[in-house]
Amino acid sequence: MPKPPTGKSQLAKLAVAHKPTPRQQTPRKEDYIEIIYELIREKGYAKPVDIANYLHVTPPTVTGMLGKLGEEQLLVHEKYGGIILTEKGKSMADSIGRRHALLVSFLKLLGAKEATAQKDTEGLEHYIDTATLELLSKLVDYASRNPQWWNQFQKQPP
């Protein structure tokens, strides 16, 4: 087995990578905002039972999270009524949507099938750094504007 590279050890690099970073929102809260936004966009409304079905959780779990999201002023939910995203919630949903679309585009560019790209994006989208997203965006844009370059790149042996 090869030795780790000199300089910073692999263990030290892993420790840095696993160090928690301050986040405004948790991945689960982002999932809720994303689903609520899509439900409203596609159906015109979002109900707790629909959220529960799409996130594979129980309705009481949804109710609890809706309360937390309401406290953070991301949405307004009236008991037995509709759910409305606030401007802050819409802004967050837009950001999540752009991040999601970029990651799906990147994975599809690499050759992933749509279903795989969607599933893998769910694992990546909450943890990828903004600076890394900007780099991926540049690559996706460049590859789409220069298909001959990308085709040549793909022909390279692994």
| Domains recognised in the chain with CATH numbers | 27-90 (1.10.10.10), 98-154 (1.10.60.10)
pLDDT tens-digit series, residues 19-57: 666 556 788 999 999 999 999 999 999 999 999 999 999
Residues in Cβ contact with 18 at an 8 Å cutoff, skipping those fewer than 6 apart:
none
Residue 3 has pLDDT above 70, yes or no: no
Structure tokens at 98: 């752009």
**Is 126 within 8 Å of 92 (Cβ atoms)?**
no
pLDDT tens-digit series, residues 122-157: 888 888 888 999 999 999 999 989 888 888 887 878
* Range 64-87 average pLDDT: 92
- The mean predicted confidence, pLDDT, of the chain is 88
Answer whether 0.75 is exceeded by the pTM: yes
